[in-house]
């Protein structure tokens, strides 16, 4: 069941909240059971022949993209992580040279590169041992 707001065209031809006969002159609903301006969200029955959800169809573009992403993501993640670990290792190697190491900024950058390399190594292991077998089995 989906919902729609209670909108209508008033006597002046302008789109307004509530019905033209349901709201008093002070903008409060005439019926005490309604919300101010009669703007309660009311359920609307959907037509069974017309399915508006784009993901209910098994051949929908969204579901096909999700299936392709599930098979492609582990390989792409492992590749990106391997290149990232290599780049961070080079950063650590350069920033720990004797003439660069004493600067406080270089120490911070070295720590960030080491932490990033550790995070990428952890995610690469997760992608190899969890996501890649799931992608191969089609889960």
Which of 58 and 81 is assigned the larger pLDDT?
81
**pLDDT above 90: residue 91:** yes
Q: Helix, strand, or coil here: 4?
A: strand
Same-domain status, 70 and 127: yes
Same-domain status, 96 and 127: yes
pLDDT score of 138:
72
Q: Helix, strand, or coil here: 17?
A: strand
DSSP per-residue codes, 31-96:
STTSPGGG---EEEPPPSS----TTSSTT-HHHHHHHHHHHHHHHHHHHHHHHHHHHHHHHHHHHT
Which of 18 and 101 is assigned the larger pLDDT?
101
pLDDT tens digits, one per residue of 41-77:
555 555 555 444 555 566 678 888 888 888 899 999 9
Cβ-contact 112, 84 below 8 angstroms:
no
Long-range CB pairs of 52-58, under 8 A, 24+ apart, other chains included: 52/2
Same-domain status, 65 and 125: yes
Closest to 15 in 3D by CA, of 34, 36, 39, 32? 39
Q: In which band, very low, low, confident or very high, does the pLDDT at 86 lie, cut at 50, 70 and 90?
A: very high
Average pLDDT over residues 124-138: 90
Number of domains in the chain: 2
Same-domain status, 48 and 20: yes
Which of 43 and 129 is assigned the larger pLDDT?
129
Same-domain status, 77 and 126: yes
Same-domain status, 41 and 67: no
Which range of residues forms the domain containing residue 46? 1-52
Q: In which band, very low, low, confident or very high, does the pLDDT at 13 lie, cut at 50, 70 and 90?
A: low
Average confidence score pLDDT of the chain: 75
Measured in degrees and rounded to the nearest 5, phi and psi for residue 107 equal -65, -40
The residue out of 13, 31, 52 marking a domain boundary is 52
**For the CA atoms of 129, 132, 136, 139, what is the dihedral angle to 10 degrees?**
90
Same-domain status, 68 and 116: yes
pLDDT tens digits, one per residue of 93-122:
999 999 999 999 999 999 999 999 999 999
């Amino acid at each position: 069941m989906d919902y729609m707001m209670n909108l209508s065209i008033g006597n002046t031809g302008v789109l307004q909240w509530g019905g033209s006969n349901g709201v008093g002159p002070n903008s409060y609903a005439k019926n005490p059971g309604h919300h101010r301006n009669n703007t309660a969200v009311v359920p609307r029955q959907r037509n069974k022949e017309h399915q508006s959800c784009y993901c209910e169809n098994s051949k929908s573009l969204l579901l096909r993209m999700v299936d392709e992403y599930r098979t492609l993501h582990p390989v792409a993640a492992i590749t990106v992580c391997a290149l990232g670990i290599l780049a961070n290792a080079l950063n650590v190697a350069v920033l720990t040279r004797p003439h660069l190491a004493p600067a406080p900024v270089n120490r911070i950058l070295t720590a960030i590169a080491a932490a990033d390399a550790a995070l990428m190594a952890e995610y690469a292991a997760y992608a190899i041992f969890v996501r890649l077998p799931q992608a191969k089995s089609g889960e």
